[in-house]
Amino acid sequence: MLETRPHRALPDLSPGASQEPGLGDIFGLVRLFARRRYITILIVAALAVGVGVLYLRITPPTYTASADLILGKHEGQFVQQQLVLSAPPMDALSMESQVQIVKSDNVAASVVKRLNLDHDSDFLAGGNGLLAKLSDPWKKNPTLDDFQRTQLAIALVEKNLDAAHIGMSSVIEVSYSWSDPEKAALIANAVAEEFILEQRDVKNQESRKAGEWSLERAKELQLQTEATERAVNEFKKQNNIFTVGGNLLNEQLVSDLTIQLSTARQKTAEAQARVDQISSPVVTDASTNPIDATASIDSIANPALTKLRQRYMDLSAQERDWSRKYGENYWAAVNLRNQMNDMRQPIQEELRRLSESYKSDYNAAKQRQEAIEKDLAKAVSESQAANRAQITLRELESAAHNNRILYDSFMQHSAESVQQESFPLNDARIISPAVAPQQKSRPKSALVMILAIVGGGALGIGVGLLRDLLDGAFRTGKQLEASLLVPCVALVPRQDKALRAARRQKSSSKSARTIETGTQVFWRTATQPASRFTESIRSIKFALDLASAINGRKKSVGFTSALPNEGKSSITAAVGLLAAQVGARAVVVDLDLRNPTLSGMLAPNAERGIVDVLLGHSTLDDALWIEPTSNMAMLPVSARGRYLHTTEILASRSMRQLFDELHQRFEYVIVDLPPLVPVIDARATTEIIDNYFLVVEWGRTPTTVVVNALDSAGTIGERLVGAILNKADIRNMGRYDSLSKSVYNNADFAKYGYVD
């Protein structure tokens, strides 16, 4: 089974590219690109400049006049009080809305009507611009009716009109562009003035509508107010709701009874306290000391009781004094004690009389409290019923009050709208009118030329980059090595000129198998040994010798390519001639059995060839052709016919035996193989060839084709000594390689005999 090479990533085709390019590498890439594509860039830039000059020559000038508007009102306090509809604050969104109004159809139609532009034939012609002349609707159809003329004029006004909000201010710049500067200023001012009139008309219409609506609404509210007020009065009559001092009568009665009840309860409590004091056991017990009995009622104002108590206290003090001086049985002390006992009876009687008085007062206070409580309960019951009706009454009064307020408000708004309509106020004014411009606004010659130069240069660079992207071929040996992962052993220059070396005379030998010198490029190895072409062939032979010495392989080498016509046959013949010229025994074998190009160049009339030898129809000596000067041998393909099953022929046992014989007789066996893409014949030669070279045509063979061909070539890639970049344009190599022209075309090479 054939082995496949690992996949190779496609290289960066930019010469000198690296994985991590530095500033110097980037500068080198730019320099190489400019060297490669400077002609393309200059041509495209020149065309762009020519287009710019032509545009300036054929485009007539356009003048732009501008007028500045400031939005917002600055009324006095009296005027502000008369306004019904106040203007909203001018934020960014409002300013953009005003800009769109400036550019609206209504404003444009008003300008057309004001300046009579629909009857201005010069204006309807669209100006004197190039596009206007080419697409002149007025001249193409001069029979437009009034409506069409008006619409055309409006369209021209809107087309050349521009408005913009200036910065964060409330200023709008209105600009109009036209071929006539005077007319441009006239139209710009007309647009600004019509915008102001439009704003004033809209405001007046809104005020009028607001006033009419307010008046109609006020009439409705008047009827509603009268109806609700009548409902309030009728409801009061039905529910006996009366007010005193702004309060309901029932509520006032409940409030008064509540105060009276509080006072009655206080008096009852005081009477109860006196009854409790006078009814205590200390007071009612006859055996109790009068001083102790009356101690709890000292605070009660009773002159008689107070006098008796004081008399009793005086006798008690005198009795204690005499008893202490003269003894308890002293007649005076006994007399005093008898007087004290006699005084108890009147004190007890006075206390009983006072108790009855306190109880009578308490009963009267209690009855008064109960009577007030009954009256209050009755008033509260009546008040609750009134309160339930009061809820409905309050709703009716609230509705009547609200209707009255709304009615007064709408009547006021109606009056104010009438006043506002009478004030000629504007929401905008012109702060800078448009004047006829002295300089054209379009086209800007300097800007056009700068854009032409810069754009042309950029377009030229883009075209150059596009050409580089589309150029997917190999241009340098570095690209070849980075893509195929094999060394580039030679850079074979392209031979455009005819062979100038003096032709050698044809051999006088009558042998039909003698190779004659021709005009093919590979003969330069014999006729121009000091040429760059011959030096590149020496590099190929040296690489072959070095690889054979290192790997210990035989000097059998096959030259192949990805596609036909890449020059592999010429390289094969040149290497064979060079090896024979240095005295080596070399044989060139044509194994491109389906397209024997090498045989056609060296042995065009061969009657016997390699297939005849393999089939035993001829011996090897009878099939070999000889170049008499270098003694190079050549084993051609017979010219008698083409072969189909070539893969089996190349992989046959007899082919291996034939090559064994060739190795015994020759030091170099140099083979011209078929290309890799069209046929697979080259893969069948791995048993007979030890070394391979891949020939790639400079600037022609696509990179992807070469990479894919080598990846599918089996073991050929493992024995690949190197790649050869053929037909290289040496003079243009400096445009693709950082070595530059000074290396590829160095005049010092002539010192070593180089002739090209």
706 is a domain residue: yes
Helix, strand, coil shares of the chain, percent, nearest 5, are: 60, 10, 30
Q: Are residues 347 and 460 in the same domain?
A: no
- pLDDT score of 691 more than 90: yes
Q: Which helix (H) or strand (E) holds 316?
A: helix 303-326
* CA distances in angstroms from 378 to 254, 268, 430, listed in the order given: 9, 22, 80
584 is a domain residue: yes
Return the beta strands (E) in 475-516 as ranges. Answer: 488-493
DSSP state of 163: E
pLDDT in tens, 280-309: 665 555 555 666 656 555 444 577 777 877
Who wins on pLDDT, 476 or 1? 476
* 290-294, 330-334, 410-414, 545-549 — most confident range: 545-549
Question: Residue 503 has what pLDDT?
Answer: 40
Per-residue buried b or exposed e for 4-20, using 16+ beta carbons within 10 Å of the residue's own CB: ebeebeebebbbbbeee
Question: Residue 382 has what pLDDT?
Answer: 64
- pLDDT score of 508 more than 80: no
What is the number of domains present in the chain? 3
The DSSP-derived string for 710-734 is HHTSGGGGGGEEEEEEEEE-HHHHT
Q: Which of 470, 487, 513 is the last residue of a domain?
A: 470
Distance CA 147, CA 514 (A): 98
Who wins on pLDDT, 368 or 83? 368
- Across the range 272-286, mean pLDDT stands at 67
Question: Residue 337 has what pLDDT?
Answer: 81
- pLDDT score of 149 more than 60: yes
Who wins on pLDDT, 133 or 570? 570
- Across the range 455-459, mean pLDDT stands at 86
Q: Are residues 565 and 538 in the same domain?
A: yes
- pLDDT score of 16 more than 50: no
pTM above the 0.85 mark? no
135 is a domain residue: no
Q: Which two tokens stand for residue 403?
A: 């209707």
Who wins on pLDDT, 109 or 272? 109
Q: Are residues 671 and 596 in the same domain?
A: yes
209 is a domain residue: no
* 17-21, 91-95, 448-452 — most confident range: 448-452
* 1-5, 426-430, 599-603 — most confident range: 599-603
Distance CA 66, CA 474 (A): 61
**Taking the CB of residue 605, how many other CB atoms lie within 10 A of it?**
11
Question: Residue 239 has what pLDDT?
Answer: 67
Q: Are residues 723 and 700 in the same domain?
A: yes
* CA distances in angstroms from 592 to 409, 522, 676, listed in the order given: 111, 18, 11
Q: Which of 428, 455, 470 is the last residue of a domain?
A: 470
- pLDDT score of 589 more than 80: yes
Contact 562, 693 (CB under 8 A): no
The DSSP-derived string for 21-42 is --HHHHHHHHHHHHHHHHHHHH
636 is a domain residue: yes
Who wins on pLDDT, 574 or 127? 574
**Tokens 């083979």 sit on residue:** 671
Which range among 338-347, 405-414, 589-598, 685-694 shows the weakest confidence by mean pLDDT?
Answer: 405-414
- pLDDT score of 562 more than 70: yes
Q: Are residues 336 and 458 in the same domain?
A: no
- pLDDT score of 129 more than 60: no
Return the beta strands (E) in 181-279 as ranges. Answer: 243-244, 247-248
- Across the range 445-465, mean pLDDT stands at 84
Dihedral of alpha carbons 740, 741, 742, 746, sign? positive
Q: Are residues 454 and 483 in the same domain?
A: no
431 is a domain residue: no
294 is a domain residue: yes
Q: Which helix (H) or strand (E) holds 164?
A: strand 161-165
Q: Are residues 449 and 581 in the same domain?
A: no
Question: Residue 274 has what pLDDT?
Answer: 76
Which range among 11-20, 363-372, 640-649 shows the weakest confidence by mean pLDDT?
Answer: 11-20
The boundaries of the domain holding residue 717 are 477-495+521-752
Per-residue buried b or exposed e for 189-207, using 16+ beta carbons within 10 Å of the residue's own CB: bbbbbbbbebbeeebbeeb
Q: Which of 388, 404, 420 is the last residue of a domain?
A: 404
Q: What pairing do the DSSP bridges indicate for beta strands 586-590 and 668-672?
A: parallel
pLDDT in tens, 45-80: 889 888 888 888 888 888 888 888 888 755 444 444
Q: Are residues 575 and 459 in the same domain?
A: no
pLDDT in tens, 153-190: 888 888 888 888 887 888 888 888 888 888 888 998 88
Q: Are residues 528 and 458 in the same domain?
A: no
Q: Are residues 459 and 541 in the same domain?
A: no
Nearest-5° Cα angle at 723, 717 to 726:
140
Q: Are residues 571 and 534 in the same domain?
A: yes
Q: In whole numbers, what is the pLDDT of the chain averaged over residues?
A: 78
Question: Residue 675 has what pLDDT?
Answer: 94
Contact 465, 697 (CB under 8 A): no
Q: Are residues 463 and 483 in the same domain?
A: no
196 is a domain residue: no
Distance CA 536, CA 584 (A): 18
Return the beta strands (E) in 619-719 as ranges. Answer: 625-627, 632-635, 668-672, 691-697
Return the beta strands (E) in 506-582 as ranges. Answer: 556-561
- Is residue 51 classed as helix, strand or coil in its secondary structure? helix
Q: Would you place residue 561 in the very low, low, confident or very high pLDDT band (cuts 50, 70, 90)?
A: very high
Tell me the CATH number at 581. 3.40.50.300
